[in-house]
Chains A and B, each alone.
Chain A
Amino acid sequence: MPYPCLRLADTLPSFGELVAFMTMSAKPTVSDVMAAAKREGRVLLQPRGGVGTYEGMRGLLTDIEQGGCADIMPVTVDSHTRLGRFDVATKCLENFPNRLNGFPVVSHGYQVMRQLNDACRKPLQIRHGSPDGRRLMAEAVAGGITSFEGGPIGYNLPYCADVSLEDSFASWAEIDELAGILTEMGHTVEREFFGSLTAVAVPPSIALACTFIEAVCASKKGVRAMSIAIPQGGNMVQDIAALEAIPILAQRYLPADCAVYSVLHQFMGIFPEDRPRADALIFSGALAGYFGKAQKIVCKTHLEAKGIPDTAAILDSLVLSRAGVTGRHVGLPLDRAPIDDERNAILRETQELLDPIVWETDVARAAIEAFHSGQMDIPFPANDAAKGDIFPLRDANGGLRFGSTGNLPFSKASIDRNNALLKTIPRQSHSTLVREAMMYFSNKEPIS
């Protein structure tokens, strides 16, 4: 029987061999450590990181692990592999490995992944950005990886101009099917959904709606451990509220036997260039994750504005984030009223987006049609499968709101609240305000 994803290459192991290998593994899975974190109220940290060669990647992971602050190790994949250009990635690996901006998992193959996995005590997760990650998924799970990021919306619309939603939903259904089959056999493969989208000022309800559509589709294929990842927007009240919305939405939309985890990506937009402000943003992200009861934070570094960070910067940011997620630095009680109000508003918006889609028999089809009609949308999509009629603005407190709600099916209550919060911002053109919303943390003015 041709198994999902494993059917794509003769070089991949048989399903039987894969299961035998997973049975022998003594390492904790990503799902194991996420479940423990949830049980114990801890926030796990995961950096990003990937280089081309095996030796370089093993060295990077070893250095990060020895730093002591990372709980889940990253394998960030290179751009060629993300786009399915495996031959280009292989040639690059052979001739110019330093040109690769990540680890070419398919070029190395699953046997090398097993060596890499064995070199670390902590579990590894694949982080990529492929609209079609099937081969990558096969090599990854065959290599001992127990968590795979991505989905048909978050890894398509922000990045790809020429991949239809029909194709990306079909590809990711196969990935979820393999994860579901393995889960059924007692080998949990966690799936993480990428709500950061274009990473530029994404309103929380949009991030949550996209990830929950993907999560519902995955649950129908048998996936039973999943992370909903949303981006830090930069307003602490809104970030905490958005994280608090995740378990409530999970209860409404996902089967009771699904383990659902909350993940916060530290700020994904335009970062401050100077270290003090970059570190402040990283620390505030850690605090938001702590107060919002996230199970994991995916960390940024102070070098974000300058390019790919070095190992020292990764380790520094993990220490800084660890200080934040202990909660020891802020012993003040939270003012619950604004957080509760914001969470309820996020829940209302998200449910207004999701309800017309996820109760349909064919959720993927309903989602695709919603994107085509603008009933579901994201800001600034690369792909014209989404209309891109919505754009973000920031209110007077830096909270992310809608400058235009396009054709989203929001109620009058949701639109009125959104507009009321934007009433106090200066009267400028929308293009200026959108630019200011994006550049919110990259101000170069002296700190006074």
Chain B
Amino acid sequence: MNSHVVPNTKGIVVLGSTSSDPHVVPLFLAKLMLEENGYQVVNLRCFNAPETFVTTAQDHEDIRAIVISNNNGAACEDLEGLSTALGRSKTRIPVILGGRAWLEFTPEIERTLHDHGITHICKDFDALLHTLETMKGTVPCHTLA
């Protein structure tokens, strides 16, 4: 069975898990789904430092978003330094977080993630796709999908 061939015309998504998170399967699932829906995906796989996402995104033109997965509840700690890296970047890139990134979601966690530079939080794959499809341009806005 060959993969569905969809022209990748919607831009590039940089995808990976955070520095302490070994969960790689959700990344491959997200990659499959994004490619089926017209995105080109750079899959950094697992254990990525925050600056890796940003420098990888800077290496590509037509970046649509950085999509970060965290499934060990350590997103707040692992993403320290992301805002600094984004600040050094010359382009404004939407940064979407998904997975099981916390034990219990609280306003404080939302604030911390926003301060780190997360622009959108998605609870599942469908929400990720919906967010990418409905984002206006590349101007980050903080929303919980």
Contacts and interface: CB of A to CB of B under 8 A. Distances in A.
Contact of A429 (B2, B25, B33, B46): B33
Interface string B40-57: 000101110000000000
Given A402-B1, A419-B1, A438-B25, A431 B32 contact: yes
Contact of B32 (A161, A162, A401, A434): A434
Interface residues of B, number: 17
Interface in A403-447: 403-404, 418-419, 422, 429-431, 434-435, 438
Contact of B46 (A382, A391, A404): A382
Given A161-B45, A380-B24, A391 B1 contact: no
Contacts of A380: 24-25, 28
Interface in A146-170: 158-159, 161-162
B51 to A, nearest CB: 16
A429 B3 CA distance: 9
Contacts of A403: 1, 3
Interface in B1-27: 1-4, 22, 24-25
Contacts of B45: 161, 381-384, 388
A431 B29 contact: yes
A393 interface: yes
Contact of B24 (A198, A393, A429, A431): A198
B134 to A, nearest CB: 19
Contact of B3 (A381, A384, A404): A404
B80 interface: no
A404 B22 contact: no
A159 B22 CA distance: 7
Contacts of A430: 3-4, 32, 36
Question: In the complex, which of the residues A161, A391, A434 has the most CB atoms of chain B within 10 Å of its own CB atom?
Answer: A161
Nearest to A270: B25
Contacts of B3: 403-404, 430
A246 interface: no
Contacts of B46: 161, 382
Contacts of B24: 158, 198, 380-382
Contacts of A325: none
A200 interface: yes
A429 B36 contact: yes
B22 A391 contact: no
B36 A431 contact: yes
Given A198-B25, A435-B29, A404 B1 contact: yes
A404 B46 CA distance: 22
Interface string B78-122: 000000000000000000000000000000000000000000000
A247 B33 CA distance: 39
Question: In the complex, which of the residues A161, A379, A381, A431 has the most CB atoms of chain B within 10 Å of its own CB atom?
Answer: A431
Contacts of B33: 429, 431
Question: In the complex, which of the residues B3, B22, B24, B36 has the most CB atoms of chain A within 10 Å of its own CB atom?
Answer: B24
A391 B32 contact: yes
Contacts of B22: 159, 382
Nearest to A388: B28
B97 to A, nearest CB: 19
A404 B4 CA distance: 10
A429 B25 CA distance: 17
Interface string B119-143: 0000001000000000000000000
B28 A391 contact: yes
A412 to B, nearest CB: 14
A431 B25 CA distance: 12
12 contacts: A161-B45, A161-B46, A380-B24, A381-B24, A388-B43, A391-B28, A402-B1, A429-B32, A431-B29, A431-B32, A431-B125, A435-B29
> Lowest 7 CB-CB distances: which A-B pairs, in order?
A431-B33, A431-B32, A161-B47, A382-B24, A380-B28, A380-B25, A422-B1
Given A380-B24, A391-B28, A431-B36, 18 more contacts: A159-B22, A162-B47, A379-B28, A381-B24, A382-B24, A382-B46, A388-B45, A391-B32, A401-B1, A418-B1, A429-B4, A429-B36, A430-B3, A430-B4, A431-B33, A431-B125, A434-B32, A438-B25
